[in-house]
Amino acid sequence: MLALTLLALPLLSTASSVHGRHDSHSHTHAKRLPSHWFHEARHPVHELFRRDDATFPTVGSDAWAAGYPPGPPAAPDVSKLPAAWVAALNDAVSRKAIPDIPLSLNASDGGNPTYPNGLDPNGPEICSATYKCRIDGDIWDGPAGTVGISFDDGPEAGTDDLLAFLESNKQKVTHFLIGSNILYEPAKFTRMFKNGDDLAVHTWTHPHMTTQSNLQVVAELGYTMQIIHQSTGGRVPKYWRPPYGDSDKRVTAIAKEVFGLTTVVWNQDTLDWSLTDTNPETSADKIQSQMKEWLGGPKTPGLVILEHEVSQKSVASFVAAYPLMQQSGWQIASLASLLSNNVSYQNAADNTGTVNVVDIVAAKNAAVAKPDASSSAPASSPSKSSVASVNNNNKANTSPSPSPSPSAPSSASPQKTLGSATAMLCAAVVFLLWQ
Closest CA to 241 of 324, 148, 320, 103: 148
CB count, 10 Å around CB of 134? 12
Distance between CA 158 and CA 182 in Å, rounded? 14
Closest CA to 257 of 68, 133, 387, 99: 99
CB count, 10 Å around CB of 170? 8
Alpha helix positions (H), 20-99: 46-49, 62-65, 83-94
Residue tagged active-site, from 246, 248, 308, 350: 308
Alpha helix positions (H), 350-413: none
Burial 377-393 (b: 16+ CB within 10 A, else e): bebeebbbbbbeebeee
Does residue 152 carry a catalytic annotation? Answer: yes
Give the gyration radius of the chain's Cα atoms.
26
Closest CA to 138 of 247, 4, 6: 247
Distance between CA 359 and CA 338 in Å, rounded? 25
Beta bridge partners of residue 31, listed in sequence order: none
Residue tagged active-site, from 138, 152, 198, 246: 152
Angle between helices 83-94 and 214-229 (to 10 degrees): 130
Contacts 24+ apart (CB under 8 A), 61-66: 64/186, 64/230, 64/231, 65/183
Does residue 308 carry a catalytic annotation? Answer: yes
DSSP three-state, residue 176: strand
Burial of 373 (0-12, 13-18, 19+ CB in 10 A): exposed
In contact, 355 and 347? CB cutoff 8 Å: yes
Distance between CA 338 and CA 302 in Å, rounded? 10
Catalytic site residues?
A: 152, 308
